[in-house]
């Protein structure tokens, strides 16, 4: 546990050792604020529905940016050999990297707090969807991050890592969209709907916190972190 914390700290700090972190946060805030305020005064509704509706698509591109260097850079520099010959367990490293990326994404998300504050100043938004939306965004983001960290672990090239993460996230996002659901056989429909990353986000975003949605995200995260663990361990036997 101590090692996880140490690795978490190292990973989290390393985001801020390059300008990437600041560029990331600024562009994320500019895009989210722009998309929000573009229609806010026209529609005149005190809700973040529009913002949360776009978030899965914004995260789709931004989460892989956060995770792409997690393992790929260690592999490229060779520091993975130093790291994994220290007395740490592989799962501690996997967890440390995952948590650091999640923390970074959550930090970026927290900085959008100005949006609900604006709503509260100008109107009286329903708090359920607000809290639900943010909780859902954290869970969705964490699931994206788990996929991204896994993608980073299978390559030493950050671009490849980014694209693989994007493709997997995209696949899991659209599999639950209506357009896919209409085109698959009915038997598969419910499976696809369950697998979709977005549909669970929408139901949490309504302010209804269903344990099934939470379990879904936690199992997605666990699944990809396990894959990450296996792919890192498999180097021993290659």
Partner 1 sequence: MIEVERLLKSYGATKAVQEISFTIAQGEVVGFLGPNGAGKSTTMRMLTCYLSPDRGTARIAGFDILQQPREVKKRIGYLPENNPLYMDMGVIEYLRFIAAVRGIATGSVRANIERVIDVCGLTSVAAKDIGELSKGFRQRLGLAQALLHDPDVLILDEPTIGLDPHQIIEIRNLIKNIGRHKTVILSSHILPEVSATCDRVLIINRGKIVGSGTPAELAALSRGKQTVLVTVRGPRDDVVAALRGLAPVSEVVVKESQNGLSRLEIICGTEGNEDVCEQIFFLVARSGWSLTELSCKTVNLEDVFLELTTREEP
Distance CA 180, CA 177 (A): 6
Is residue 19 within the footprint of partner 1 (CB under 8 A)? no
Instruction: Give 80 or 220: the residue with its C-beta nearer to partner 1.
Output: 80
Tell me how far, at minimum, the Cβ of 157 lies from partner 1, in Å. 17
Is residue 86 within the footprint of partner 1 (CB under 8 A)? yes
Instruction: Give 22 or 194: the residue with its C-beta nearer to partner 1.
Output: 22
Alpha-helical regions (H) of the chain = 2-15, 20-43, 49-67, 72-77, 79-84, 90-110, 114-122, 127-153, 158-174, 178-183, 186-195, 197-205, 211-233
Kindly identify the residues of this chain, within the stretch 180-219, that bind partner 1 according to CB under 8 A. none
Spatial CA neighbour of 144 closest among 163, 172, 176: 172
Q: Which of 89, 107, 120, 128 binds partner 1 (CB under 8 A)?
A: 89
Question: 196 near 176, Cβ under 8 Å?
Answer: yes
Instruction: Give 1 or 187: the residue with its C-beta nearer to partner 1.
Output: 1
Tell me how far, at minimum, the Cβ of 130 lies from partner 1, in Å. 37
Instruction: Give 82 or 159: the residue with its C-beta nearer to partner 1.
Output: 82
Question: 48 near 129, Cβ under 8 Å?
Answer: yes
Spatial CA neighbour of 96 closest among 15, 13, 7, 16: 7
Among the listed ranges 5-13, 45-53, 99-107, 176-184, the one in contact with partner 1 (CB under 8 A) is 5-13
Distance CA 68, CA 38 (A): 31
Q: Which of 81, 123, 190, 222 binds partner 1 (CB under 8 A)?
A: 81
Instruction: Give 44 or 87: the residue with its C-beta nearer to partner 1.
Output: 87
Angle between helices 158-174 and 49-67 (to 10 degrees): 150
Is residue 21 within the footprint of partner 1 (CB under 8 A)? no
Size of the site for partner 1 (CB under 8 A): 25
* Binding footprint of partner 1 on the chain (CB under 8 A): 2-3, 6-7, 10, 14, 17-18, 77-89, 235-238
């Amino acid at each position: 546990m101590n090692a996880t914390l140490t690795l978490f700290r190292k990973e989290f700090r390393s985001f801020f050792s390059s300008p990437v972190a600041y560029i990331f946060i600024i562009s994320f805030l500019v895009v989210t604020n722009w998309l929000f305020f573009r229609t806010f005064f026209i529609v005149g509704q005190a809700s973040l529905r529009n913002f949360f509706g776009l978030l899965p698509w914004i995260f789709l591109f931004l989460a892989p940016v956060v995770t792409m260097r997690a393992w790929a850079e260690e592999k490229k520099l060779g520091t993975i050999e130093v790291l994994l010959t220290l007395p740490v367990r592989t799962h501690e490293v996997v967890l440390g990297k995952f948590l650091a990326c999640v923390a970074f994404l959550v930090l970026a998300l927290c900085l959008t707090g100005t949006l609900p504050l604006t709503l509260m100043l100008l109107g009286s938004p329903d708090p359920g969807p607000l809290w639900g939306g943010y909780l859902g965004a954290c869970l969705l983001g964490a699931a994206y991050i788990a996929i991204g960290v896994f993608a980073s672990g299978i390559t030493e090239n950050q671009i490849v890592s980014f694209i693989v993460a994007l493709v997997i996230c995209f696949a899991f996002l659209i599999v639950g969209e209506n357009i896919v659901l209409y085109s698959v056989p009915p038997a598969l429909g419910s499976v696809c709907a369950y697998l979709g990353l977005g549909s669970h986000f929408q139901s949490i975003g309504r302010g209804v916190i269903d344990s099934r949605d939470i379990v879904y995200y936690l199992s997605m995260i666990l699944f990809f972190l396990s894959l990450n663990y296996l792919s890192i361990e498999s180097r021993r036997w290659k």
